[in-house]
Structure 1
């Protein structure tokens, strides 16, 4: 076959794909680099790539993977990935919904998804297809939607309630945000409508703040959250505050600011107060201390002595964006009931090297850590020279598990989804 004929065939193929229906695409392969570093015996397959800003993900009982996009792609905000031949690679995509966002979950025959101000749901039919993808029910409406910490992550308890993160649109609730010398507001007015977890019913439509319960407060921004079915509790990972040195150079040097505060992992029970913006957790002193905007000097505890403490403290500024309790035995007993956490990656650990850009595993039993965390999946960034938000090839963002125990990881930098299985080889 001559070169001209080959070129013509490639051109014809491109035209046919371009003319295909934009909500369903037949994929012929993926191009993402697949060199993740994993423990021995684990392998990763690229399910799909170039999806757009892929945030959180959920897997249905039939293996379909649903991906929530932070920005619309071709006018759509959710992509369903389907593997029709069992090779681990999605050969069919279906896109729907006209809103962007982060949160997505599946529970009791419904797909739940969030924009930055609403929570929606879609009903599955007996064939595991969404009945009306163009007309979802609105579960919650009118949530705080400001540029900073706007994502509304969600999880469900399987008992009739959905939990929604409403991040604080602020770093430390100063009178003028992120401004040196600006005092903190006391009390912080943001906490009335943000900076916490709100609980809503899943069977009541068009709920507002008045219909929900402020389940927990004092949480700056929770992007990763999951309901632990073993302990029957909500668990979250918090993004800690920034810029201690920039805003308070007389109290903190650059190295201290790079290591403070810890990214905190909490169990959350109704009515708890975790201390933001008045407090932060110092992993060196192993205590919560008063924030400098509220009279703190890096050591003083003050009112923080009575705020909730973390179950575990992770390195500062890593950006925990997803939390998943692994309740399968596919990976072996070591991983059963432990927690996977996807770290999006830092931007503000200078002069130290940036960190995160990985997925870690924390062993747990009865809802409590039993050891130190270990890095499970690494090298998403593509080398230490790429450990910055601008240069990283991939940034882990979402986690999900299928009924067979395979782990899925999404990336909102290049739009890649991986499927990780244990082969023992």
Structure 2
């Protein structure tokens, strides 16, 4: 079927976005704006940028940007796919995208482009979708034999509805609150064809496979609302500052991050029993649960993670992790930024830091207007540049380094 390409010449005023603050030597250009609710990103070997939309725009759910003459201006824009979602990836001869219920693939042609926007195959469909924390992010292992799909929980603390008591055991863990593994080469799978690989994750929008460590890393969204049913143990302020948003490494099937029975308190630096399961804010537990690789302040909403493998950034960034934070911390009065964690030999080699800031356009300690952008997705370009998108006002930025 013949493809129809929508042309969109971006004005020069859109190319430079000086308001985004990055370290010295880095440069930021805004390559697209008002694209819709851009969630996750993928960049082809040819440099084409794809973004998945969580809300349809003009009836479509995937955006494609092309810089045909390689001058830094993405002068061609097109849209395809009639479903919403979050996940997106390019692997070998296929382009992949997810809805909130499944994952699909499109064949690529000899030029590395989607051969037919209207023709796709189903990898898996019919995954649980209860309307909350329903993004189906995904990643592949180093052999591309398996695809790992997030299934988030629609019940924040796994409480019995209308009460402060936890389900015991938490029945939700049978079908959500983790990451499921499916055969990446098999078509038309359903939920029953998958196996639970990682559990104890309330919701992990940001997941990735680290080919160096041969393990999966996930950014866990922490639960909320401690004080509503347990004011004797938690103040409203503590509900704002707990629990940690955490990075976990899953090395084998069955690894457990502990939700909903425990949470990680980054202030006490301990795994704490959740109040729904007999905790009081101090009682420790989860001896068999994973410890976080890195713990971040509460409620910052980590929505993507990317291990940098390019060569254009300074050497300290090599193999380190970039994280896109979609929310803000009441503790720090900061948020809506891209963080960086240096890694060496597969482990963090220093504290986390803010890499790209001021997407919100506000001093969050004393805001004077609405939030402008919320970072959500990350991707690495073939030249080693870093792409960031936001799902609030639909901008995409390219971050490059020049000595």
TM over 0.5: yes
CA distance in 1 between counterparts of 2:276 and 2:150 reads: 24
Q: Does 1:129 align with 2:108?
A: no
CA distance in 1 between counterparts of 2:318 and 2:131 reads: 37
Question: How well do the aligned residues superpose, as a CA RMSD in angstroms?
Answer: 1.8
1:120-150, CA deviations, whole angstroms, 9 ceiling, x for partnerless residues?
A: 0011010122112112100001001111101
Aligned twin of 2:124: 140
Aligned twin of 2:373: 394
Retained in 1: the 8 A contact 2:102–2:126? yes
The equivalences for 1:297-316 within 5 A come to 297-302=280-285, 304-316=286-298
Runs of 4+ in 1 over 4 A off after TM superposition: 30-34, 385-388
Per the TM alignment, residue 247 of structure 1 is displaced from its structure 2 partner at its CA by: 3.2
Gaps of 5+ in 1: 1-20
Change beyond 3 A, Cα 1:199–1:387 = farther
Q: Does 1:48 align with 2:32?
A: yes
Per the TM alignment, residue 383 of structure 1 is displaced from its structure 2 partner at its CA by: 1.8
Q: Does 1:416 align with 2:401?
A: no
Retained in 1: the 8 A contact 2:334–2:365? no
1:226-251, CA deviations, whole angstroms, 9 ceiling, x for partnerless residues?
A: 11111111111000001112332111
CA distance in 1 between counterparts of 2:333 and 2:54 reads: 24
Aligned twin of 1:65: 49
Which of the two has higher C-alpha Rg? Answer: 1
**Worse overlay, 393-402 or 158-167:** 158-167
Aligned twin of 2:148: 163
**Worse overlay, 337-346 or 25-34:** 25-34
1:288-338, CA deviations, whole angstroms, 9 ceiling, x for partnerless residues?
A: 111001111111124x12211101101111100010000112111110000
Q: Does 1:174 align with 2:137?
A: no
Change beyond 3 A, Cα 1:149–1:30 = farther
Gaps of 5+ in 2: none
Retained in 1: the 8 A contact 2:107–2:116? yes
Per the TM alignment, residue 23 of structure 1 is displaced from its structure 2 partner at its CA by: 5.1
CA distance in 2 between counterparts of 1:420 and 1:156 reads: 25
The equivalences for 1:319-358 within 5 A come to 319-346=301-328, 352=331, 354-358=333-337
SS in 2 for 1:245: coil
From 203, 211, 223, give the equivalent of 2:185: 203
From 290, 293, 298, give the equivalent of 2:276: 293
CA distance in 1 between counterparts of 2:111 and 2:288 reads: 51
Q: Does 1:359 align with 2:338?
A: yes
Per the TM alignment, residue 94 of structure 1 is displaced from its structure 2 partner at its CA by: 1.5
Aligned twin of 1:9: none
Q: Does 1:100 align with 2:84?
A: yes
SS in 1 for 2:377: strand
CA distance in 1 between counterparts of 2:66 and 2:398 reads: 13
Per the TM alignment, residue 37 of structure 1 is displaced from its structure 2 partner at its CA by: 0.3
The equivalences for 1:238-317 within 5 A come to 238-269=220-251, 270-302=253-285, 304-317=286-299
CA distance in 1 between counterparts of 2:365 and 2:53 reads: 24
Retained in 1: the 8 A contact 2:333–2:364? no
From 27, 30, 37, give the equivalent of 2:9: 27
Retained in 2: the 8 A contact 1:386–1:392? no
Change beyond 3 A, Cα 1:193–1:201 = same
**Worse overlay, 137-146 or 122-131:** 122-131
Count of paired positions: 396
SS in 1 for 2:228: helix
Retained in 2: the 8 A contact 1:88–1:419? no
The equivalences for 1:178-197 within 5 A come to 181-197=163-179
**Worse overlay, 186-195 or 87-96:** 87-96
Structure having the larger proportion of residues in helix: 1
Retained in 1: the 8 A contact 2:10–2:73? no
CA distance in 2 between counterparts of 1:283 and 1:411 reads: 27
From 116, 133, 143, give the equivalent of 2:100: 116
CA distance in 1 between counterparts of 2:379 and 2:64 reads: 14
Aligned twin of 2:351: 372
Retained in 2: the 8 A contact 1:118–1:140? yes
Per the TM alignment, residue 345 of structure 1 is displaced from its structure 2 partner at its CA by: 1.0
